[in-house]
Amino acid sequence: MVVIHALIPVFGLILLGYLLGWRRWVPSDAGGSLNAVTFKLFMPVLLFSGLAKADLGQALSPLLVLVYFLPALAIFSVVNLIMHRRLGHPTSMGLAASYSNNVLVGIPVITLVLGPEYLVYLFAILIFHSLVLFTAQSLYNAFWVKEDGKGFDLRSTLKSLANPLIIGLLLGALLNLSGWQVPAPLWKAVEWLASAALPCALLVLGLSLSHYRLHLSTSMSLLTLSKLVLFPILVLIAGIAIPGLEPEARTVLVIMAACPTGVNVLAFHMGQQDNRIISSVIFMSTLLSVVTLPLWLLLLGG
């Protein structure tokens, strides 16, 4: 019951954002402005303040990266192979089954259910999240997609890291390691900005979902199942099989894997069919995570 109560505000704000977008009570230009200020200011400041105060000794373990990304890359490879053979052409569906919405959903869920001190484990993965999976997709594209002249674009991959979220993490880590104390009045402003991040991010997610249309298909169902069930199961197995990982860290990694598909996957879609299926996976995985995330938290004792 505690888990359910903690998740109500998370999915309640997503639903509110969806209603605002669906009923067009928030104009599209206003939604774009809210998205911009959320991900260029509020969320980077939240990540900055969290990492600036975190115990970095907990987050620097290579086991965290190993336990999370070995299953992620396994899901990515197997799903891409299966969907490639099924559809007869390269896809980005392996990315849809392995790329979690750890910012919009992961941060609020872990903060409200487990506590802000657990975010240090999420931050450790978030630094490498886009780099590892977007690079894998770019390499896959370069190997298979010959006819359109596309290849591995290192510049675009590195550009994905030069965003305010990663910059906020890096600045927070630098402040933490430097030992410098931010003056209290300035830190109060940081806290105010950080407090706006979670509600705004959840409203933005709801607004974005209102623009997607659900297209039911076998491919969509299998991808959603892989994202919400198979991926976290593999992370849980890896966390148990690989010794040395703290139970708290394992819980965070499983919850991150169980988060719905991130909207950034659409940037890698290959054609209209990919776009339709992946948009549906984003919508359906977010909708079903209302049920699956509480189940995972109860299973893990969160």
Instruction: Give the per-residue pLDDT at 15.
Output: 92
Query: What are the pLDDT digits (tens) for 213-244?
Result: 778 888 899 999 999 999 999 999 999 998 88
Q: What is the pLDDT of residue 68?
A: 96
- The residue ranges of the chain whose pLDDT is under 70 are 1-3, 57-60, 144-162, 269-270, 302
- Other C-beta atoms lying within 10 Å of the C-beta of residue 163: 13
Amino acid at 157: T
The C-alpha atoms of residue 1 and residue 224 are separated, in whole angstroms, by 26
Q: What is the DSSP string of 235-257?
A: HHHHHHHSTT--HHHHHHHHHHH
What pTM does this model have?
0.83
At 110, list the tokens: 């872990």
Residue 283, token pair as written in the block: 């919508």
* CA 153 from centroid of its chain's CA atoms: 22
Q: Which residues contact 229 (CB under 8 A, 6 or more apart)?
A: 292
Tokens of 189: 């402003």
Distance CA 281, CA 221 (A): 8
Quick one: DSSP state of residue 213?
-
CA torsion angle 81 232 268 124 (round to 10): -130
Give residue for tokens 């992370």: 235
Tens of pLDDT, residues 18-64: 999 888 888 877 878 888 898 889 988 988 998 888 777 666 678 99
Closest to 265 measured CA to CA, from 75, 140, 95: 95
8 Å CB contact between 215 and 277: yes
The C-alpha atoms of residue 55 and residue 124 are separated, in whole angstroms, by 11
Q: What is the pLDDT of residue 95?
A: 93
CA 177 to mean position of chain CA atoms: 26
